[in-house]
Amino acid sequence: MLTPEDKKLIQQVWEKILSHLDDCGREALERMFCVYPQTKTYFPHFDLHPGSDQVRSHGKKVAAALSNAVKNVDNLSQALSELSNLHAYNLRVDPVNFKLLSQCFQVVLAAHLGKDYTPEVHAAFDKFLSAVAAVLAEKYR
């Protein structure tokens, strides 16, 4: 469970990366496709080369969904319900992929934030992104 301090850290970090949030989403996807190539199977119609229009566009969607989650951190289930339905019932994405993308997003955050990505920030984002992944996977049960 996210503590008030975790939520504060998440909000502070989010403000720092807002100006390049879309790049973070794109970079996280590119990293996921590189490190976990099995995730490419859900994007057969995409040009998955780094910097492609499709990866950039989907990175923006990932970033927007995470922004929505940050804004609604106290009610993630409701905030992500539509996205959860889409992934579970229409796209049928393996829920493990949410965890993989979360890990990649954390690496991107660390790269962008440098020394500002403290152990406390890492722990807060780990809990937050785990909660997001759990909500996205809850319709699979």
For the chain, what percent of residues have pLDDT higher than 70? Answer: 96
- 5-36 tens-digit pLDDT: 999 999 999 999 999 999 999 999 999 999 99
Those residues whose C-beta lies under 8 Å from the C-beta of residue 32, and which sit 6 or more positions away, are: 39, 97, 100, 101, 104
- 46-59 tens-digit pLDDT: 999 999 999 999 99
Question: Which amino acid is it at 47?
Answer: D
Q: Are 29 and 59 in contact (CB under 8 A)?
A: yes
Q: Which three-class secondary structure state does DSSP give residue 54?
A: helix
pTM (two decimals)? 0.90
Calculate the CA 52 to chain-centre distance.
19
Domains in the chain (CATH in brackets) are 4-140 (1.10.490.10)
Among 45, 36, 54, residue whose Cα is nearest residue 105: 36
On the question of pLDDT at 103 being above 70, the answer is yes
On the question of pLDDT at 139 being above 80, the answer is no
Range 64-69 average pLDDT: 94
